Amino acid sequence: MEYISVIKDDVDLSKSQRYLRIPHSRTGQAQLYLPYTNSDGQESILELIKLNGSQRRTWFIGDSGIDAGNILVHYPMDPLFLVIPIVLALSNSNNAQSFQPFSDLISTASSLPSFTLPEPFTGPIKPGQSSTGYNRDLESLLKLKIIRKVLRACCEKKVIPSVTSSPSSKTTEQKYYRPSIPMILNHLKKKVEHFAQPEEFEKFDHLVRGLSKDGLLGDDYEELRNLSRIQASIDHLSQWLPREITQQLLNSYDFTALSIHVKNRTAASIAASQQPKNTSNKDKDVKGTKRKAPTSKGVEALKKVNTNSMNKLTSFFKPKEGKKK
């Protein structure tokens, strides 16, 4: 099957590019990522998304047409979203509370059981490795400089000067690292606050429509509008975050005032949509009695006619008198 692929121009397609199969940071399902180095020597990571159309389509490129129903889109991926599940898994490991050399931390992360994927996404088991919890693509990911830089930024660091026997030698330092979820939350809060700024937030029309739906576009709701932007930003970023991290990020903000406003607005909308009930006594029917049927104008006019000089209708149905004997 042929695919249409959309990829950045700075990816050198003349060279061999290897995709990495890593569990998605939120769903845990196998996801393809493409690490590459551009012409300036900077490392970047692209996430691959396959868009399926409801019907098969023909794509035209120049004068040629390609009959394909799928399109592959590569878009830049923030390395932080790939590092967060690693730090989360390391924090739940046996050595979570101890500081380790960074090389030991990388070695432990390479064999995390939570990153094991079923075939064909798991590489062959190397000699000496455990039969479970080994992912060759995760090991390749952890070799990237950009991943290691972000991983260090998500860890607490302790520097211990080393003691040498020779007084003339220079003093060296040993660095030890410990994964830290609070540091992850600090990085995410900076992203949320940047994304919630009006000039950044208004680039997304669907998020602005959310403010309008909640009635927060007026000048009187600046504080509530800021809270709503923060909440929407977290919701937007949550598609790349583990649920545990998303919940902790939400708990770090106080959305009480916003929740009250939304509940009051919802209640007012429901009340306005209901038809008012007529509770007047005149329209209430007394139980056990029947309502009189409405009369026509002709009947009402006949009621006003003077019938005193007229014979009653029963006078035409008197019994006949008997014959005289």
Q: Is the pLDDT of residue 179 over 70?
A: yes
**Mean pLDDT on 217-226:** 80
Whether 300 is covered by a domain: the verdict is no
Domain end among 179, 203, 235: 179
Whether 106 is covered by a domain: the verdict is yes
The reply to whether 76 and 102 lie within a common domain is: yes
pTM metric for this prediction = 0.72
Whether 256 is covered by a domain: the verdict is yes
323 vs 275 pLDDT, higher one: 275
Q: Is the pLDDT of residue 312 over 80?
A: no
**Count of the separate structural domains present in the chain:** 2
**Mean pLDDT on 193-201:** 91
CA distance readout (Å), 251 to 100, 189, 229: 30, 12, 16
How many Cβ atoms from other residues are within 10 Å of residue 27's Cβ?
11
The reply to whether 57 and 122 lie within a common domain is: yes
Whether 320 is covered by a domain: the verdict is no
CA distance readout (Å), 56 to 5, 72, 250: 16, 15, 41
The reply to whether 250 and 198 lie within a common domain is: yes
Chain centroid to Cα 181, Å, comes to 21
Which range of 67-71, 208-212, 227-231, 257-261 scores highest in mean pLDDT? It is 227-231
How many Cβ atoms from other residues are within 10 Å of residue 288's Cβ?
5
Whether 228 is covered by a domain: the verdict is yes
pLDDT of residue 321: 60
The reply to whether 152 and 196 lie within a common domain is: no
Whether 325 is covered by a domain: the verdict is no
> For residues 103 and 31, what is the distance between their CA atoms, to the nearest angstrom?
26
The reply to whether 150 and 232 lie within a common domain is: no
The reply to whether 160 and 122 lie within a common domain is: yes
- Read off the tokens for 18: 């290897």
The reply to whether 118 and 213 lie within a common domain is: no
Whether 291 is covered by a domain: the verdict is no
The reply to whether 119 and 33 lie within a common domain is: yes
Return the axis-axis angle of helices 79-91 and 145-153, rounded to nearest 10°.
Answer: 60
Whether 312 is covered by a domain: the verdict is no
The reply to whether 82 and 216 lie within a common domain is: no
The reply to whether 217 and 87 lie within a common domain is: no
Domain end among 179, 207, 224: 179
Q: Is the pLDDT of residue 185 over 80?
A: yes
pLDDT one-digit tens code per residue, 13-69: 888 889 999 999 999 888 999 999 988 889 999 999 987 766 667 777 777 777 766
The reply to whether 198 and 83 lie within a common domain is: no
The reply to whether 54 and 133 lie within a common domain is: yes
What domain range is 137 assigned to?
4-165+172-179
pLDDT one-digit tens code per residue, 107-148: 888 888 888 887 654 455 455 544 454 578 999 999 999 999
Lowest pLDDT segment from 81-90, 100-109, 119-128, 216-225: 119-128
> For residues 48 and 34, what is the distance between their CA atoms, to the nearest angstrom?
7
Domain end among 157, 179, 201: 179
